[in-house]
A and B are shown apart, each in its own frame.
Chain A
Amino acid sequence: MRLNQSGDSTSSNWRFPFFNLAHARFILKMAAVQGSIVDAKDEADIKTEPAADGFGNNHANDAGVLSASPGSSAAAGNNKPAAGAPEDQQTLLAVLQFLRKNKLSESAEILRREAGLPEEVLDPKGADSAGSGLGSGADIDGGDASALLSRVTVTAAGGAKAPTKGTVHSKSSAGEDQPDVNVVLSAYSQQGDPALYEVYYSGLKKFIESVLDCHRAELSQVFYPLFVHMYLELVYNNHEAEAKAFFEKFSGDQECYYEEDLRILSSLTKKEHMRGNETLLDFRTSKFVLRISRDSYQLLKRHLQERQNNQIWNIIQEHLYIDIFDGMPRSKSQIDAMSGSLAGEAKREANKAKVYYGLLKEPEIELPLDDEDEEAENEEGKPKKKKPKKDSTGSKSKKQDPNAPSQTRIPLPELKDSDKLDKIMYMKESTKRIRLGPDNLPSICFYTFLNAYQGLTAVDVTDDSSLIAGGFADSTVRVWSVTPKKLRKVKTATDLNLIDKESDDVLERIMDDKTASESKCLYGHSGPVYGISFSPDRNYLLSCSEDGTVRLWSLLTFTCLVGYKGHNYPVWDTQFSPYGHYFISGGHDRVARLWATDHHQPLRIFAGHLADVTCTRFHPNANYMATGSSDRTIRLWDVLTGNCVRIFTGHKGPIHALAFSPNGKFLASGATDGRVLLWDIGHGLMIGELKGHTECIYSLRFSRDGEILGSGSMDNTVRLWDAMKAFDDLETDDFTAATGHIHLQDNSQELLLGTYMTKSTPVVHLHFTRRNLLLAAGAYNP
């Protein structure tokens, strides 16, 4: 158990040269959440990653890792962390103080020395001042690692507006000098007459109901955050009965999509409960974002000031972020489409950063290889038709897409010979690809896992569709070959010595025919396996599990190569980069991490989500990655800088599936609410909503040319949607009007091309083969 190891290993682990500030703050938060020191120590164990950390140091460090050729194992960031800007110092001080407070003086000392801080910071006075400085700087609990990280990284990137900066809300009450969760809560300590809360709330309600229709929908948005904060204030001040009455009276008014949060809230009736509740911390540490037109806002402001309704005005000032825009107030449906996330809508500026969503140029190796290819074709006696096709692709690839990132923005591994061969195969296959469309639906081949006893938790298929892997609740990972080619292990070392290394078929010779079988089982995890991913070259397999590790398996030896430890909590999803080498993971600890297979520590930590990161996907150009979360938002992160460049809100439940369109322009997301939402990455807008599924969507996949979107769900159906039409319709719209408002027409039924029921088999995975045959997989649950 974690408890045991943490006890004595704490001090030894501190030898690692790096102390990750972002992480430290994060730890603080988790520690606060757990409310136990033991945990905090335990968390400290994982601080060993040299992730994106403070300031210039961050930059140097990251650049170091990324520019190092992926093949090399250059230990990134052995550089001493430079003493950061005051901001970082403050953070560091907060961490130090926390450690001291919890009697971890030894660790504190080491950290201090690592950071090169003068000794006096550790004396109580210094700590105090540091703390108070911090108190005004950000919400002390240090909980919002994301905020810190993004702020830090953004400053590094050169002062661009940080997308997540909003989550750092400042200017809260001064004089909070303990970096503890208490501070957060104490914001609630302002006393008002508890009996008046209902009066205030219903007064506001009456007012909003009486305003003009066009403003009502917008102003109604404040109900929910107000309700939550007022309730929490009541609870915090021990007015339990009033709180209950307040909840009962007004909880029914809230939008149905907040039901989940309300349920959590309803169970929270005591001040003591507030200390350990994560959801509550989210409410506190991040401001609830509302988008309101200027007119509506003025109306509200005037009303509150006239009535001298300070209670509500204070809450709005302190806990709400009102994103005011000029123009027409939005309609109810427009608001509903975008709201639903844990912390309100995304701010408009959060989605303003430029995203290079274009695809990378295909490597130049094609031409010579194509000749070979052609020769092969010639031998087969069908020399025709090949030429023009190749030319067209060739010319296309030469034209630089203005939206594409530069080829070397992210250092990518060099292509090996086997990769080139695979590319040829890919080219060959894609010439035989079926052109899909509404009149030409794909065939679906369903792989059913029998006798899985409800234990199938994850599935992945290799790009060439030759292997299928399944992750199971019993901690195993199984790999099947779905082609006649059986799975074989490499021979043992002694046998390998015997073979002739010069022979042409050495790759064939190293395989041990005695081990040939249709499936292989990989043992190593100690908890349900929630995510698996094949490497593009099919030599490796990644799996992540409840036990907090990500494991890399070799598909040549069928053994575990590395266990990546970093997430201390269940890891929900992992995926290889489309170019291999890198991979991402996301888990219950609310962060996503970017790793390189040759580093046992993550290269980046992407923090910002307010709840579990439930799914992670790489953009096809590998420069970006998307994460979906239980906080009902999707974030797009820049792999290079670590910044969050897009926040998409609109889902009403935890997100369980993400898919990028093959051209990299669009993102599809599916959630437990059974809806698929389509997003335009470049503009940062929602562009479509596909309704039809009745239960959680676990799988989304675009066809190879992006014409069809397949979705698989818990409701035992595979549905096919007309993605072309969904995106085409969009282009005629003038949504670039910059208001960021969308008019979604309800055309799900027109876009739905087919629904295919399985026999009580939830659809866990979808995959389009290179020829556009749809493979689906799931376990039969009788």
Chain B
Amino acid sequence: MAEERRQKQCSVSLPTESMKAMAESMGVGQLQEESCAALSEEVSYRIKEIAQDALKFMHHGKRRKLTTSDIDNALKLKNVEPLYGFQSQEFIPFRFASGGGRELHFYEEKEVDLSDIINTPLPRVPLDVSLKAHWLSIEGVQPSIPENPPPASKEQQKTESTEPLKVVKPGQEEKGAIQGKGQNTPAPDNKGKEKGLIRLKPRSTHELSVEQQLYYKEITEACVGSCEAKRAEALQSIATDPGLYQMLPRFSTFISEGVRVNVVQNNLALLIYLMRMVKALMDNPTLYLEKYLHELIPAVVTCIVSKQLCLRPDVDNHWALRDFAARLMAQSCKTFSTTTNNIQSRITKTLTKSLLDDKTQWTTRYGSIAGLAELGADVIKTLILPRLAVEGARIKAVMDGPVVSNIDRIGAEHVQSLLLKHCASVIAKIRPQPDNVEQYRTDFGYLGPMLCSHVMKARTQAALQAQQVNRTTLTITQPRSTLSVSQSGLSGSGGPRTPSIIKVPSSLTLMSPRPGTPSQPSPPATKYIVMGTSAGAASTQQVITISSSQSASPVTSTVPSATSTLQPLVKLEPGSGSGLAAPRPMQKYIVVSLPSSASSLETKSSVLPSSISSTQVDGGIKLERSDSPAASTQSPH
């Protein structure tokens, strides 16, 4: 290892192309290869020298990060004029560009309009240095106060849960365990005793202090209460507070019990709230949930596959909840699945079983497909693609057959769009290029033609993206015609850019805006649905109104937002004009966007199900098309 590294050290020097580029920027046109080589060696050497000196300044500055001022100081040591204009606390935004066979990194200097600067109100003055005292330790015991870090770090929690019998490292842990966890654990008095035959793991107590109890009460109440602002705050707190370790068991029980009760009562709203809590817990970088998965996973799985999640399955958008929960599931599989607990394979098995079962209802079928699809392309390839023909036939039976029930029909519709959405991208990858409708029909049956068009779309999309890949344009995912519960579930640990879980103006409650009765079913006329977009930079709210009439193009109106985070609202108003035989009452969907991380981990996952299309493909059913092009143009950021 060390050898390898060192050998690398030996031969690192700048490429000669860089020398050429620099020479050109100085006006030297033709530089010989030899001089380039000589220059690059010399320059590399000098740069290394300066970097070494700069490191000295970093050490004395008591920092871990090298800053531009360190480089300046190092240059000063060598009696070289420092570089001016690179004062940056965080990072220097070098941009990358290529063209003409050249690759360049450059420092973008924008032209600044002074009048703009003059006219903008002054930013707030940064706070002055201040001194604050707290007790780091009182007679050897570290008090658990907000100023001190949580008693157990994430790594510690991890080792604790994965290797429960591992000897705790003294110094690292022992003090914390013995003294932090306190009075009831019989602290091993002397070392000799400790080396005895049986090593007992100190019994950890989960006593909560009064403050913690209060906190727990407040948080849980806010999480399931009616005030969206409070909930946002509470979720934010769960997702970021480093001191929740000791309350984790309570939260997990709260969630699992909550799901158990509310599934029976078909209380969709509360289920959504609880899932958001799960998400927040997962996002918390200081928590390691593995010990509580036995409670959380059943709860999440319930929300994915339960036959009925709401009182009016024909109207309420429980699909979004299923999608959301499916993403949570996928995330926890990714994070916690190990060879010992086999979470992923167990989950896959369960879901496949219900998928294969003929008697499974459409809702459950939808859930299991969503759950499987979120697990990744491989799972889709091996478990869903082979089923496409069968599922297609089943959908066909509902669609074309005698009108059974509206509920079944909607279910079939959803399953269809879900399948199309997830499978298209996978098929696009594994099938050779010419997309023949007939070929698709023979391969996939009823769904074939639609799949074909989706696959083609996916391909063009991919091509488009490939072109854009080197552009540094920031593409904000258009929230157009997507309609779903927040996609934030997919983004792993939430990504560093996520400012918070949910910050929604209080006027936009997830459920009916009527106060005090979150448990009531929503009125049929209006529907608010949570969805996620990428966190953009704009500080406006986009309200996109889509009327799903034949020719409708999305109407986007931008509304200045009171809050600074981007909160595009998507209002989807299916115009009644287009609805031919839609037996539903006129419905208004308002999609509340949550600033979610929208990471580009999986482009496909941003493709949200149950999208509304403006074109009607089949049978005058409105909610049909998925795969809006925007959905896959995730910005690379």
A411-462 contacts to B, CB under 8 A, are: 440-457
Decide: A443 and B65 in contact? CB cutoff 8 A. Answer: no
Once bound together, how far apart are the Cα atoms of A618 and B154, in whole Å? 42
Decide: B131 and A252 in contact? CB cutoff 8 A. Answer: no
Measured between beta carbons, the chain B residues less than 8 angstroms from A449 are 129-131
Per-residue interface assignment for chain B, residues 105 to 129, with 1 indicating a CB less than 8 Å from any chain A CB and 0 otherwise: 0000000000000000000001111
Least distance between B117 CB and chain A CB atoms (Å) = 22
Least distance between B132 CB and chain A CB atoms (Å) = 5
Answer yes or no: B30 CB below 8 A from chain A CBs: no
Once bound together, how far apart are the Cα atoms of A235 and B135, in whole Å? 57
Once bound together, how far apart are the Cα atoms of A247 and B134, in whole Å? 52
Answer yes or no: B581 CB below 8 A from chain A CBs: no
Once bound together, how far apart are the Cα atoms of A456 and B60, in whole Å? 10
Decide: A450 and B132 in contact? CB cutoff 8 A. Answer: yes
Size category of the binding interface on chain A: 35 or more
Decide: B3 and A252 in contact? CB cutoff 8 A. Answer: yes
Decide: B77 and A570 in contact? CB cutoff 8 A. Answer: yes
Closest to A752 in B: B171
Least distance between A558 CB and chain B CB atoms (Å) = 16
Once bound together, how far apart are the Cα atoms of A38 and B10, in whole Å? 33
Once bound together, how far apart are the Cα atoms of A164 and B127, in whole Å? 51
Decide: A572 and B60 in contact? CB cutoff 8 A. Answer: yes
Once bound together, how far apart are the Cα atoms of A220 and B169, in whole Å? 34
Once bound together, how far apart are the Cα atoms of A272 and B127, in whole Å? 49
Contact A445:B7 (CB < 8 A) given known A451-B127, A451-B128, A758-B148: no
Once bound together, how far apart are the Cα atoms of A353 and B468, in whole Å? 73
Decide: B2 and A756 in contact? CB cutoff 8 A. Answer: no
Once bound together, how far apart are the Cα atoms of A760 and B89, in whole Å? 18
Among A244, A443, A468, A654, the residue within 8 A (CB) of B135 is A443
Closest to B140 in A: A441
Decide: A478 and B129 in contact? CB cutoff 8 A. Answer: yes
Answer yes or no: B49 CB below 8 A from chain A CBs: yes
Among A263, A264, A519, A530, the residue within 8 A (CB) of B131 is A519
Decide: B77 and A756 in contact? CB cutoff 8 A. Answer: no
Among A244, A266, A452, A760, the residue within 8 A (CB) of B6 is A266
Decide: B60 and A614 in contact? CB cutoff 8 A. Answer: yes
B77-121 contacts to A, CB under 8 A, are: 77-79, 89
Name A's interface SS: mixed
Q: Which of B40-48, B245-253, B503-511 lies on the face that meets chain A?
A: B40-48
Measured between beta carbons, the chain A residues less than 8 angstroms from B417 are none
Closest to A750 in B: B191
Measured between beta carbons, the chain B residues less than 8 angstroms from A656 are 59
Answer yes or no: B405 CB below 8 A from chain A CBs: no
Measured between beta carbons, the chain A residues less than 8 angstroms from B56 are 588, 612, 630, 654
Answer yes or no: A576 CB below 8 A from chain B CBs: no
Answer yes or no: A714 CB below 8 A from chain B CBs: yes
Decide: B44 and A267 in contact? CB cutoff 8 A. Answer: yes
Decide: A247 and B10 in contact? CB cutoff 8 A. Answer: yes
Decide: A248 and B69 in contact? CB cutoff 8 A. Answer: no
Decide: B175 and A755 in contact? CB cutoff 8 A. Answer: yes
Least distance between B21 CB and chain A CB atoms (Å) = 22
Answer yes or no: B61 CB below 8 A from chain A CBs: yes
Answer yes or no: A527 CB below 8 A from chain B CBs: yes
B1-31 contacts to A, CB under 8 A, are: 2-3, 6-7, 9-11
Decide: A470 and B129 in contact? CB cutoff 8 A. Answer: yes
Contact A270:B126 (CB < 8 A) given known A263-B9, A473-B61, A482-B131: no
Contact A446:B134 (CB < 8 A) given known A251-B7, A259-B6: yes
Measured between beta carbons, the chain A residues less than 8 angstroms from B142 are 756-757
Name B's interface SS: mixed
Which of B79, B126, B138 has the most chain A CB atoms inside 10 A of its CB?
A: B79
Once bound together, how far apart are the Cα atoms of A762 and B63, in whole Å? 9
Answer yes or no: A566 CB below 8 A from chain B CBs: no
Once bound together, how far apart are the Cα atoms of A288 and B60, in whole Å? 27
Closest to A277 in B: B49
Once bound together, how far apart are the Cα atoms of A656 and B61, in whole Å? 12
Which of A444, A569, A698 has the most chain B CB atoms inside 10 A of its CB?
A: A444
Answer yes or no: B170 CB below 8 A from chain A CBs: yes
Least distance between B383 CB and chain A CB atoms (Å) = 44
Answer yes or no: B197 CB below 8 A from chain A CBs: no
Answer yes or no: B52 CB below 8 A from chain A CBs: yes
Once bound together, how far apart are the Cα atoms of A585 and B443, in whole Å? 82
Answer yes or no: B149 CB below 8 A from chain A CBs: yes
Answer yes or no: A608 CB below 8 A from chain B CBs: no
Once bound together, how far apart are the Cα atoms of A39 and B80, in whole Å? 12
Answer yes or no: B64 CB below 8 A from chain A CBs: yes
Contact A457:B62 (CB < 8 A) given known A251-B10, A264-B52, A752-B171: yes
Answer yes or no: B32 CB below 8 A from chain A CBs: no
Closest to B3 in A: A252
Decide: B63 and A445 in contact? CB cutoff 8 A. Answer: no
Decide: B10 and A244 in contact? CB cutoff 8 A. Answer: yes
Once bound together, how far apart are the Cα atoms of A614 and B149, in whole Å? 31
Once bound together, how far apart are the Cα atoms of A36 and B79, in whole Å? 10
Measured between beta carbons, the chain B residues less than 8 angstroms from A256 are 2
Answer yes or no: A273 CB below 8 A from chain B CBs: yes
Answer yes or no: B34 CB below 8 A from chain A CBs: no
Once bound together, how far apart are the Cα atoms of A273 and B73, in whole Å? 21
Answer yes or no: B379 CB below 8 A from chain A CBs: no
Least distance between B139 CB and chain A CB atoms (Å) = 6
A131-162 contacts to B, CB under 8 A, are: none
Answer yes or no: A218 CB below 8 A from chain B CBs: no
Measured between beta carbons, the chain A residues less than 8 angstroms from B76 are 546
Contact A252:B7 (CB < 8 A) given known A472-B129, A714-B62, A758-B136: yes
Decide: A757 and B148 in contact? CB cutoff 8 A. Answer: yes
Once bound together, how far apart are the Cα atoms of A470 and B42, in whole Å? 40
Among B69, B132, B148, the residue within 8 A (CB) of A447 is B132
Decide: B69 and A252 in contact? CB cutoff 8 A. Answer: no
Decide: A755 and B59 in contact? CB cutoff 8 A. Answer: no
Once bound together, how far apart are the Cα atoms of A256 and B6, in whole Å? 10
Once bound together, how far apart are the Cα atoms of A34 and B80, in whole Å? 11
Measured between beta carbons, the chain A residues less than 8 angstroms from B67 are 454
Answer yes or no: A738 CB below 8 A from chain B CBs: no
Measured between beta carbons, the chain A residues less than 8 angstroms from B242 are 759
Once bound together, how far apart are the Cα atoms of A614 and B58, in whole Å? 13
Answer yes or no: A58 CB below 8 A from chain B CBs: no
Among A263, A451, A753, A762, the residue within 8 A (CB) of B126 is A451
Answer yes or no: B147 CB below 8 A from chain A CBs: yes
Among A454, A719, A752, A760, the residue within 8 A (CB) of B65 is A454
Among A270, A444, A482, A753, the residue within 8 A (CB) of B136 is A444
Answer yes or no: B137 CB below 8 A from chain A CBs: yes
Answer yes or no: A56 CB below 8 A from chain B CBs: no
Contact A446:B77 (CB < 8 A) given known A457-B62, A473-B69: no
Which of B49, B61, B78, B129 has the most chain A CB atoms inside 10 A of its CB?
A: B129
Least distance between A493 CB and chain B CB atoms (Å) = 30
Among A247, A445, A752, A754, the residue within 8 A (CB) of B133 is A445
Per-residue interface assignment for chain A, residues 626 to 666, with 1 indicating a CB less than 8 Å from any chain B CB and 0 otherwise: 00001000000000000000000000001010000000000
Measured between beta carbons, the chain B residues less than 8 angstroms from A252 are 2-3, 6-7
Contact A273:B52 (CB < 8 A) given known A450-B132, A451-B129, A714-B64: no
Decide: A269 and B131 in contact? CB cutoff 8 A. Answer: no
Answer yes or no: A324 CB below 8 A from chain B CBs: no
Among B61, B131, B140, the residue within 8 A (CB) of A480 is B131
22 A-B pairs, CB-CB below 8 angstroms? A39-B79, A259-B6, A267-B49, A268-B45, A270-B41, A441-B137, A441-B139, A443-B137, A444-B136, A446-B136, A448-B134, A449-B130, A451-B126, A451-B130, A528-B73, A654-B59, A692-B171, A695-B64, A696-B59, A714-B64, A757-B142, A759-B147
List 10 additional A-B contacts (Cβ < 8 Å) besides A451-B130, A759-B149.
Answer: A248-B7, A252-B6, A263-B48, A266-B6, A446-B135, A470-B131, A530-B61, A714-B62, A752-B170, A764-B62
Residues of B at under 8 Å CB distance from A? 2-3, 6-7, 9-11, 41-42, 44-45, 48-49, 52, 56-57, 59-65, 67, 69, 73, 76-79, 89, 126-140, 142, 147-149, 153, 170-172, 175-176, 191, 242
